[in-house]
């Protein structure tokens, strides 16, 4: 499990390799990742957008930007948590993901929070520094 806290917003990530969705002979590897965003602060915030940087074992990097997460822009009051699961395909058996969420307070202030870097590795595979 990977965690990062920015401005009292905690992001926790747990990646899982999905062997059933992968085909190593076709250079297709797939991971699911479960994310929890918890508002540990005192202000109401809304997750507005995401920015991911995904790097495979060959050093190829892809950037993904978009509105919200899984089609939602959740509002989190103090003490509330939002969780979702998404996925990531790669053509290599390992990689790394890192990113940010753009948040907005109920007063309209925009700020970014860290999504911790997390490793995508096949079980029992040779580890590669990405």
For the chain, domains (ranges, CATH) are 2-121 (2.60.40.1470)
Q: Sign of the C-alpha dihedral, residues 47, 111, 95, 3?
A: negative
Q: What is the pTM of this model?
A: 0.91
Per DSSP, 69 falls in state B
Buried b (16+ CB within 10 A) or exposed e, 17-37: beeeebeeeeeebbbebebeb
For the cut 80, the answer to whether the pLDDT of residue 130 exceeds it is: no
Can you tell me the distance from the alpha carbon of 42 to that of 46, in angstroms, rounded to the nearest whole number?
Answer: 13
C-alpha closest to that of 101 among 22, 48, 42: 48
For the cut 90, the answer to whether the pLDDT of residue 127 exceeds it is: no
Q: Span 46-60, mean pLDDT?
A: 97
């Amino acid at each position: 499990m990977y965690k990062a806290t920015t401005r009292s917003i905690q992001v926790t990530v747990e990646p899982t390799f999905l062997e059933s969705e992968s085909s190593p002979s076709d250079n297709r590897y797939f991971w699911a990742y479960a994310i929890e965003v918890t508002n540990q602060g005192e202000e109401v915030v809304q997750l507005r957008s995401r920015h991911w940087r995904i790097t495979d074992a060959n050093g190829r990097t892809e950037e993904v930007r978009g509105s919200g997460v899984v089609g939602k822009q959740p509002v989190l009051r103090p003490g509330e948590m939002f969780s979702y699961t998404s996925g990531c395909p790669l053509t290599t058996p390992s990689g790394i993901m890192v990113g940010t969420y753009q948040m907005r307070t109920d007063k309209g202030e925009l700020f970014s929070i860290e999504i911790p870097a997390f490793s995508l590795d096949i079980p029992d595979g040779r580890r590669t520094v990405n």
